Amino acid sequence: MSWTTFPKVELHLHLEGAAPPDFIRALAKEKSMDIAGIFDAQGNYAYRDFTHFLSVYEAATETLKTPEDYHRLTRAVLEQSAANGVVYAETFLSPDFCGGSDVVAWRDYLAAIVDAADEAERRDGITLRGIVTCIRHFGPEKARASARCAAETAGDWLTGFGIAGAETMGEPGDFAYSFDMAREAGLNLTAHAGEWGGAKSVRDAVSDLGVGRIGHGVRAIEDPEVVEMLAEREVVLEVCPGSNVTLGVYPDWKSHPIQRLREAGVKVTVSTDDPPFFHTTMTREFEMLEKHFGWGEEEFDEINQTALAAAYCDPQTRARVAEQIKRT
Ligand code: ADE
Ligand code: ZN
């Protein structure tokens, strides 16, 4: 079966990380910036390991200078997502990259992104919501500035707050102040954990930040008590298997714990993270899950339902998307 047109819900997608290399190359050319070093001979993003990935990601992001650039990026990314059957997506946005976490500038970037998302919804029937994400390796002070931007613009479109970046730097508790600010503003919370940190990092993100979802979270599998805690509390994992395999969290698809987590009663969903960096799409994630774990329509319907139930959107949007993922 071809999974291209099967409807999909994606909860974990970094907007800059979804930028096609051609798009970034064209922007760099327009601005006379030399970023040739971030590409390989085939024109794909080139990096050696996770730390290098983060610096290539940030170098590519340097080309995105204005709200208009983010408008074009959002349009390009949603075209790709819609072509892969995605009907609802949530994207991580970082005010650090969008106006340096200045609230006035951030509002302009956000307005441009929402405008492009509205256009895509009208054109392709794909719905997007935003999650402000602070960057762990930029430190707690910058995270507070991002949380302030998030709190100021929280609403029906900007619905969440999270943290990404180098998981080995600092502790989740260092960012509790920012998460408290976001929670008080009515935002829903998620945190990257259990990707580069072990099971304890997942436990700490849940207990110290009070998140309802975890980005990745897969290394919870290393401690049965953490797996049980996730299942009991119905914490939803935004699992990105292709990202984990490409970055070397697991050596191959067969070793990936998504199936074991699901069998242990943990609520799992599937996303791409930074698709062109990992040579993936939502269609490819589905194909690989079919190939390596035998997943089919039943499993994909189940993860769609899990993802939509865990989506950070209002009830009307959830009901509308429920119709889009309903199959007869
Ligand atoms: N930022 C973009 N992709 C990321 C990942 N996989 N882990 C942490 N931070 C990220
Ligand atoms: Zn991520």
Active-site amino acid positions: 195
> Tell me: the pLDDT tens digits for 211-234?
999 999 999 999 999 999 999 999
Q: Which CATH number do you get for residue 281?
A: 3.20.20.140
Calculate the average pLDDT of the chain. 98
Nearest atom in ligand 1 to 195's CA: 7
Quick check: is 206 in a domain?
yes
* Residue 324 CA to ligand 1 centre (angstroms): 29
Ligand 1 atom closest to residue 196's alpha carbon, by position in its atom list = 7
The answer for residues whose C-beta is within 8 angstroms of residue 204's C-beta and 6 or more apart is 171, 172, 173, 193
Q: How many domains does the chain have?
A: 1
> Residue 293 falls within a domain, yes or no?
yes
C-beta contacts of 226-230 below 8 A and 24+ residues apart: 226/199, 226/200, 226/202, 227/261, 227/264, 227/266, 228/264, 229/203, 230/202, 230/206, 230/261, 230/266, 230/267
Q: 218 is in which domain, residue-wise?
A: 83-318
Look at residue 210 and tell me if it is in a domain: yes
The pLDDT assigned to 231 comes to 98
Residue 215 CA: nearest ligand 1 atom is 7
Candidate of 274, 277, 280 to mutate for ligand 1, largest count of ligand atoms within 8 Å of Cβ:
274
For the CA atoms of the chain, what is the radius of gyration?
18
Q: How confident is the model at residue 328 (pLDDT cuts 50, 70, 90)?
A: confident
| Of the candidates 97, 18, 91, the residue with the CA atom closest to the CA atom of residue 61 | 97
CB of 273 closer than 6 A to ligand 1?
A: yes
CA of 316 to the centre of ligand 1 (A): 30
What's the average model confidence in pLDDT over 62-79?
98
Is residue 163 situated within a structural domain?
A: yes
HSE-CB at 116 with a 13 A cutoff on CA atoms is 20
Q: How far is CA 139 from the centre of its chain?
A: 20
Ligand 1 proximity of 192 Cβ (cutoff 6 Å)? yes
Is 8 a domain residue?
no
pTM: 0.98
The secondary structure of 244-294 as a DSSP string is HHHHTSSSSGGG-THHHHHHTT-EEEE--BSGGGGT--HHHHHHHHHHHH-
**Nearest ligand by distance to the CA of 57:** 1
**104 in a domain, yes or no?**
yes
In a domain, 169, yes or no: yes
Q: For 258-283, how does the pLDDT look when each residue is reduced to its tens digit (9 = 90+)?
A: 999 999 999 999 999 999 999 999 99
* Cβ–ligand 1 contact at 162 (below 6 Å): no
Q: Is the CB of 160 under 6 A from ligand 1?
A: no
In a domain, 74, yes or no: no
pLDDT level of residue 327 (50, 70, 90 thresholds): confident
